Amino acid sequence: MTARLANKRIVLGVSGGIAAYKSADLIRRLRDAGAEVQVVMTAAAQSFITPLTLQALSGNPVHTDLLDPAAEAAMGHIELARWADLVLVAPASADCLARLAQGVANDLLTTLWLATKAKLAVAPAMNQQMWAAPATRANLATLQARGVAVFGPAAGSQACGDVGEGRMLESVELANACADQFESGLLTGRHVVITAGPTREALDPVRYLSNHSSGKMGFAIAEACVEAGARVTLIAGPVSLPTPARLRRVNVVSADEMLLAAQAAVEGADVFVATAAVADYRPARVAEQKIKKSADVIALELIKNPDIVATIAARPDRPFVLGFAAETEKVIEHAREKLLRKKLDMIACNDVARADIGFQSDDNALTVIWADGDRHLDKAGKTVIARQLVELLAERLLQK
């Protein structure tokens, strides 16, 4: 469980019911497994457990009001919806299930539920007769038909004195169920090689040419591929990001080093994903000693770096190749030209001139293009975008 929940972002929705007391222990279990937790409480939930308790356990302010100006200024409901990898409502009362199923958006939790692209799950908790009621069963069927995961409920004695189904699962079971949501099996048996981050091209022992790539998108795709069951080799330029669990990381600095690592890794690989922002040029000569500041103007002679993704795409034993295009103008036009010129199978392009996505941002938006089609992935957190991209990648692999 720990590896699958490490660095995952979970919004825990707490609705009204005696089982709300279990949410406190669930938060602790999720955080112990490495997840970051934001809590959203309905008005009824606050009658059973205080926001202060859940704030202390989650380490984050608890969100309670849809129209709270202070909350909107910090992390409003739309930003919270984009932030999440998973939204879990636990406990989910009969009333809450009904409102979620019918698309009611009259409080923060139900509004966030409609606004997010994250995975969705509910952990029902109610009286056994309410759980058995035809209306509850119909609401549950509606949610399941939309892809919502349902955790439980369990059977046993209830606070009202009844015995039967309707008890919320224990926190350990719910934490494990959350972890299971990050295993899709879409790429089981596949070997995926991914490049990520920038490259640095040395000018002298202390200076270099580089770019603003943070590596976040490539690392998110690597995690999504692992979640999808793939064996992943991540070739990373110089970035300050922790290594995702259950993959092999190869650290490089320059474009030449990244090319050599990629050529070695793609032997027998199924997919090559080139997210790295490789420097197009490097200095023709690297000074052996630090270049001293003297002349007002200095001239640098630059030579072209190898084109890594085109080199891999030209191999006779080439894998499926997904390239990236970070553009500042004519994004779609330039991406289509690159797809054809480099003989790629797919290309994902984004507008890095936008301040709200791309380099250094936690969000992104992509247009994914292939020979006879395309698909737009609207702005969302990079982990969400990565999973959507992996789903599309798996779909295209099946059609090859």
> Taking the domains of the chain in order of start, what are their residue ranges?
2-180, 191-399
Whole-number pLDDT of residue 160: 63
Average pLDDT, the chain: 90
Q: How far apart are CA 182 and CA 172, in angstroms?
A: 16
Q: How far apart are CA 253 and CA 300, in angstroms?
A: 20
Using the Cα atoms of residue 76, residue 79, residue 83 and residue 84 in order, give the sign of their dihedral.
positive
**What is the third-level CATH fold of 2-180?**
Rossmann fold (3.40.50)
Q: How far apart are CA 210 and CA 182, in angstroms?
A: 34
Q: What phi and psi values does residue 14 have, to the nearest 5 degrees? A: -115, 115
- For the record, the structure tokens of 197 come out as 């981050």
Is 72 within 8 Å of 80 (Cβ atoms)?
no
Range among 82-96, 146-160, 340-354 with highest mean pLDDT value: 82-96
- For the record, the structure tokens of 283 come out as 């200095």
Burial of 199 (0-12, 13-18, 19+ CB in 10 A): buried
Q: How far apart are CA 220 and CA 7, in angstroms?
A: 11
Tell whether omega for the bond before 91 is within 30 degrees of 0, i.e. cis.
yes
Range with the poorest average pLDDT among 200-209, 230-239, 272-281, 357-366: 357-366
Of residues 238 and 329, the one with the higher pLDDT is 238
Asked, colleague to colleague, whether 2-180 and 191-399 share their fold, the answer is yes
Structure confidence at residue 339 as a pLDDT band (50, 70, 90): very high
pLDDT(74) > 50: no
Q: How far apart are CA 344 and CA 342, in angstroms?
A: 6
Whole-number pLDDT of residue 68: 63
**What is the third-level CATH fold of 191-399?**
Rossmann fold (3.40.50)
Burial of 270 (0-12, 13-18, 19+ CB in 10 A): middle
Structure confidence at residue 76 as a pLDDT band (50, 70, 90): low
Catalytic one of 160, 178, 225, 349: 160
Question: How big is the chain, counted in residues?
Answer: 400
DSSP assignment of 160-172 equals TS-EEEEEPPPHH
Q: In the beta sheet, which residues pair with residue 198?
A: 277
pLDDT(2) > 80: no
- pTM score: 0.75
Structure confidence at residue 6 as a pLDDT band (50, 70, 90): confident
Structure confidence at residue 166 as a pLDDT band (50, 70, 90): confident
The mean per-residue pLDDT over the stretch 152-180 comes to 84
Q: 352: alpha, beta or left, given left = phi > 0 and alpha = psi -120 to 50? A: alpha
pLDDT(258) > 80: yes
Whole-number pLDDT of residue 327: 79
Whole-number pLDDT of residue 182: 85
Whole-number pLDDT of residue 3: 64
Q: How far apart are CA 231 and CA 233, in angstroms?
A: 7
Query: Among this protein's residues, is 160 annotated catalytic?
Result: yes
